[in-house]
Amino acid sequence: MASNDRVRVRGVEIHRPIIYGNTAWVLTPKEREALPSPDHTHRWTVAVRSAASAPDSEIVGGADDLSYFIKRVTFKLHDTYPNPNRNVDKPPFEVSETGWGEFEISIRITFVQESGEKAITFYHHLKLHPWTASGEPEIPPLEAAAKMGPVHSWQYDEIVFHDPYQAFLNILTAHPPTPLPKTKRRPIPFHTANPGSLEASKGGTPEFTQEMEKEEAERLDTAKQKLAQEHSRLVDAIVKKEKELDALKKELDKALQAS
């Protein structure tokens, strides 16, 4: 490594978009019979991928190979699984399993040595059962779920590097991420932060878009405005109550003096 490679480039912030989450499929009765544990009802894949999808791909995201900046992804599964700590040292950064239950998966990303970055850890709730509009039963019967197709649960995020080492910055800039499509050309991934997207998420392999990012920013803006309104409403109510309290105190003083 050249000596200036170990110098941090101050003031630079560079990010890489990723998605993490899972896709789950209901096992057919035949597939279940073939398993060592026939109580398993689903097959699933949990993964960390690039946000952009390859054209006409059946998988969510994954257009870019992320191994230029990711050295290892460790998926920590539920303790009911053998060797629950699964280290994946090369792409695709994913684990496929079968099972019967949903649980929290811890995902730890270790970056390439040149980065000098600490590993990051976050969580994904493994989703096996279809998303439902509120009011419908939580978990539909398996046969019904099978007809609805695979379940997708994916989160978009950006890994931000502050003041990167020169060597790492060179690596990053040599690998620009594939941009997301501007607008929707496929179903969009459903997310609980946007419950209205249930219909738009149906009918095939979903894909993230730039439009979704914009809409998310707008939802955050609207929520912020609503909070500010609610805050000032409550402040007004407090001021009013304090005035009432003052008036009552004065009345009480008068009554005490008169007695």
Binding footprint of ligand SLL on the chain (CB under 6 A): 37, 78, 80-81, 99-103
Minimum CB–partner distance for residue 39 and ligand SLL (Å): 7
Q: Give the nearer residue to ligand SLL in terms of CB position, either 80 or 232.
A: 80
Q: Give the nearer residue to ligand SLL in terms of CB position, either 35 or 228.
A: 35
Which residue reads 């912030």 in tokens? 13
Q: Give the nearer residue to ligand SLL in terms of CB position, either 37 or 257.
A: 37
Minimum CB–partner distance for residue 97 and ligand SLL (Å): 8
Distance from the Cα of residue 13 to its chain's centroid: 22
Query: Do 200 and 43 touch, CB atoms closer than 8 A?
Result: no
Q: Give the nearer residue to ligand SLL in terms of CB position, either 25 or 103.
A: 103
Of all residues in this chain, which one has the CB nearest to ligand SLL in the complex?
99
Say how far apart CA 116 and CA 214 lie, in whole Å. 32
Minimum CB–partner distance for residue 94 and ligand SLL (Å): 17
Residue 14 β-bridge partners: 161
Other Cβ atoms closer than 10 A to 188:
18
Q: Give the nearer residue to ligand SLL in terms of CB position, either 78 or 202.
A: 78
Strand order across the 120-125 sheet: 85-88, 70-76, 104-111, 120-125
Q: Quick one: three-class SS letters along 142-193?
A: HHHHHHCCCEEEEEEEEEEEECCEHHHHHHHHCCCCCCCCCCCCCCCCCCCC
Minimum CB–partner distance for residue 78 and ligand SLL (Å): 4
Minimum CB–partner distance for residue 22 and ligand SLL (Å): 13
Which residue reads 């969580």 in tokens? 123
